[in-house]
């Protein structure tokens, strides 16, 4: 598939998608989001792929929505394009997405990062929601996901001042999983992806979905959901293989069935 604004490569069972508008710090125009979501859905359907990495370049993961494009829009025209419906499709990706981020992670870039399940950041990452400085506010989940991730007070501070935080602070607030030197963030993300790719795919996807339920459901409903997902996994071939391998003291070989 030929894309204009992203690149795609495959390493073992890992699909690697890189945003590719370096001259504008990977500003997210509508066409980029269309391409990105279409590719994530394609990788999600590909049985050879077990984990997805989403990355940018060392200078910028993404500096937000494309302000040139947005400046042309009215409330009505942007509503009619319904671009956020495309963003919403990312929530349905069943395979884990690892964000490998560096440099500017701002506005829509931060919102995109927060769509990832695990995040490895470079020490150079600056992460924030500066929309208020443009007279607007986040529209792709920034107020909701940031608050869930860092708590109400820190989210208020970041959203109301528009000032970004550095990688080490993001780590302290649990907004990212790991911070490493800039030469290492992609390698580290790849290593993490390879580790997860050896796990049983059905369990990986069930865990991803169930953990996300913890953000949406009351505890008793989340517990019910978890229990049913657990019962379902007991019917998988991989559960037989996992337990047999343990008893036979060998490494399991999981097939995703």
CB of 27 to ligand CAA, least distance (A): 3
Interface positions with ligand CAA (CB under 6 A): 24-25, 27, 63-68, 104, 106-108, 111, 130-131, 134, 138-140, 142
Q: 35 or 188: whose CB is closer to ligand CAA?
A: 35
CA dist 159 and 209 (Å) reads 28
Nearby residues of 34 by Cβ (< 8 Å), 6 or more positions away: 86
CB of 227 to ligand CAA, least distance (A): 37
Active site residues: 65, 108, 111, 131
CA dist 232 and 207 (Å) reads 12
Q: 182 or 245: whose CB is closer to ligand CAA?
A: 182
CB of 135 to ligand CAA, least distance (A): 10
Residue 93 main-chain phi, psi, to 5 deg: -65, 125
CB of 82 to ligand CAA, least distance (A): 13
Q: 164 or 252: whose CB is closer to ligand CAA?
A: 164
Q: 142 or 200: whose CB is closer to ligand CAA?
A: 142
């Amino acid at each position: 598939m030929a894309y204009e604004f992203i690149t795609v490569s495959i390493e073992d069972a890992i699909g690697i998608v890189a945003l590719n508008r370096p001259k504008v710090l990977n500003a997210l125009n509508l066409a980029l989001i269309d391409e990105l979501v279409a590719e994530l859905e394609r990788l999600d359907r590909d049985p050879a792929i077990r984990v997805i990495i989403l990355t940018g370049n060392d200078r910028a993961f993404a500096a937000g929505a494309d302000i040139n494009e947005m400046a042309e829009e009215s409330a009505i025209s942007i509503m009619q394009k319904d671009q956020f419906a495309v963003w919403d499709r990312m929530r349905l990706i069943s395979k884990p997405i690892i964000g490998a981020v560096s440099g500017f992670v701002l506005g829509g870039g931060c919102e995109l990062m927060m769509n990832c399940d695990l995040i490895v950041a470079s020490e150079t990452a600056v992460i924030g929601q500066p929309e208020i400085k443009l007279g607007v506010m986040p529209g792709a989940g920034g107020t909701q996901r940031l608050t869930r991730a860092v708590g109400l007070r820190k989210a208020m501070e970041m959203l109301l001042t528009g000032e970004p935080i550095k990688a080490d602070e993001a780590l302290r607030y649990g907004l990212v999983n790991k911070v490493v030197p800039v030469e290492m963030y992609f390698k580290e993300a790849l290593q993490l992806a390879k580790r997860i790719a050896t796990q049983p795919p059905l369990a990986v996807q069930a865990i991803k979905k169930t953990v996300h339920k913890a953000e949406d459901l009351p505890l008793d409903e989340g517990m019910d959901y978890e229990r049913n997902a657990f019962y379902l996994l007991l019917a998988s071939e991989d559960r037989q293989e996992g337990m047999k391998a343990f008893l036979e003291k060998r490494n399991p070989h999981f097939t995703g069935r």
